[in-house]
Amino acid sequence: MGLPVNLAASTSSAAQGAAEQVRDTWAWFVDSAIAWTPALVVVALTMLILFLVRRRAVRKPRQELVLLSLLKVTVVIIAIIGVALVLPVGESDRAQLLSLLGILLSATIALASTTFVGNAMAGLMLRGMRNFRPGDWVRVGEVFGRISETGLLHTEVQDSERNLTTLPNLHLVTHPVTVVRASGTFVSSTLSLGYDVSHQEVEAGLLSAAESAGLSQAFVLIEGLGDHAITYRVSGFLEEVRLLLSARSRLNAHILEVLHGRGIEIVSPIFVNPRSLSALTQVIPKRGIGPNPETPQATEQREVDEVVFDKAAKAEAEELLTERIAEVSQAVGDADDEFERATLKAELAELEAEREGGAEDAADPTPR
């Protein structure tokens, strides 16, 4: 009878031990879950905030994307520090962990100061200076074109061949940037003529060419007296700077037309023609061979700038639309008359719809 009693006691003791082990495991799991809950909450909130920021950035203009990018970086840094503060570790281990994070952050900033952080700081500096904006003509070294995009780390320029050049913002801060003023600029053209042509006659012809090209406040400078030729430069004021490319071409075309029409040769004094020509023969093309600035073909040259700088023009339109929305929003808040406020709200709704339509077009990857 002693054997069955001992077997039952042994079985009961094993069952109690297993139950206690299950209870201890469950208690450890519950305690661990409670201890790790703050860290998991911080991670979840961080992911939610980043998701909301990314979703909000879809329909925002470019100037607000810079602030949203900084916001995302700040949220991630704060989340890392928050997780380190709420981890279920001892005070000494937490202090060591925070010290390690500080060292890593300092090392990252030190190593990336000439690249990522440097470009980001330069981007913020350019945003604060606001010496140029999308659509403006700029020259940086050998790069000349219109600003098509401004970002936190880089600036994009569209050149006269419709190509896009990306310039790091740090490069723009450390190198001279020439910006064509939006209020207008002077368009110039240079040519050399022989001493046998009166400079008064040349100046009169160049001034006439500049005026017929649609330029105002025209003037002519004699820039140099060479061994065989005189160097002239004619300039005229252009108000619509977005047509700068076609304006230069149009000025050159009118110079050819006017000078040739007045019997002035645009040819080097040391020009040698192997043909037997009379000394009175002039090297001037017959009128009508080249394009006439007054023909419809020349009129279409105004559209060249719109085709070549399509992205820059779109960026400029978005910038102006955003500024207009800000002005109307401010006017809605300042309006005292209900009718005026309602009119401004209707205009604001139309502007918002127009901006949303532009954002949808930009998000559409289908080539146009």
Structural domain contains residue 317: yes
What are the tens digits of pLDDT across the range 175-200? 899 988 888 899 999 999 988 888 99
Residues 6+ apart with CB under 8 A from 63: 127, 150, 319, 322
Of 306 and 168, more confident: 168
pLDDT attached to residue 275? 63
The domain that holds 156 is classified in CATH as 2.30.30.60
Give the pLDDT score at 17.
67
The answer to whether the beta carbons of residues 209 and 187 sit under 8 Å apart is: no
191 and 268 belong to one structural domain: yes
- Residue 120: inside a domain: no
Q: Is the pLDDT of residue 289 over 60?
A: no
pLDDT at residue 366 in the model: 43
Q: What is the model's pLDDT at position 232?
A: 94
pLDDT for residue 171 is more than 70: yes
Say if residue 318 is in the same domain as residue 264: no
Shared-domain flag, residues 155 and 198: no
189, 273: one domain: yes
Task: Supply the pTM of this predicted model.
Answer: 0.56
Average pLDDT, the chain: 78
pLDDT in tens, 132-154: 888 888 999 889 988 888 888 88
Q: Are residues 290 and 200 in the same domain?
A: yes
Range of the domain at 267: 185-294
Count of CA atoms in the C-beta half-sphere (13 A) of 332:
14
Residue 90 reports pLDDT greater than 80: no
Residue 273 pLDDT exceeds 60: no
Whether the CB-CB separation of 229 and 192 falls below 8 Å is answered with yes
CA 64 to the chain's CA centroid: 12
Instruction: Please tell me whether residues 201 and 290 are part of one structural domain.
Output: yes
Q: What is the 3-state secondary structure (H, E, C) of 257-268?
A: HHHHHCCCCCCC
Give 113's pLDDT tier (boundaries 50, 70, 90).
low
The mean pLDDT of 340-346, rounded to a whole number, is: 79
The structure tokens 């100037």 sit at 63
Do 286 and 323 reside in the same domain of the chain? no
- Give the pLDDT mean for 314-324: 78
The pLDDT tens digits of the residues spanning 8-41 come to: 556 666 667 677 777 777 777 777 777 778 888 8
Q: Rounded mean pLDDT of 276-289?
A: 66
Q: Are residues 189 and 285 in the same domain?
A: yes
Q: Is 30 exposed, middle or buried (CB count within 10 Å of its CB: 0-12, 13-18, 19+)?
A: exposed
Tally Cβ neighbours within 10 Å of residue 267: 15
| pLDDT level of residue 368 (50, 70, 90 thresholds) | very low
pLDDT for residue 233: 94
Q: What pLDDT is attached to residue 270?
A: 67
The model's pLDDT over 228-252, given as tens digits with 9 standing for 90+, comes to 889 999 999 998 888 888 899 999 9
Q: Is 1 helix (H, G, I), strand (E, B) or coil?
A: coil
Out of 294, 320, 340, pick the residue that ends a domain.
294
pLDDT of res. 69: 75
The stretches of the chain forming alpha helices (DSSP H) are: 2-56, 62-86, 91-111, 116-129, 169-174, 199-212, 244-261, 296-299, 304-308, 310-334, 338-363
pLDDT band at 211 (very low <50, low <70, confident <90, very high): very high
Torsion of CA 43, 49, 50, 54, to 10 degrees: 160
Q: How much is the pLDDT for 306? A: 67
Is 19 in the same domain as 106?
yes
Residue 324, domain member (yes or no): yes
Pairing of strands 143-150, 137-140: antiparallel
Average pLDDT over residues 208-223: 92
Q: What is the 3-state secondary structure (H, E, C) of 72-130?
A: HHHHHHHHHHHHHHHCCCCHHHHHHHHHHHHHHHHHHHHHCCCCHHHHHHHHHHHHHHC
Q: Please give the tally of structural domains in the chain.
A: 4
8 domain residue, yes or no: no
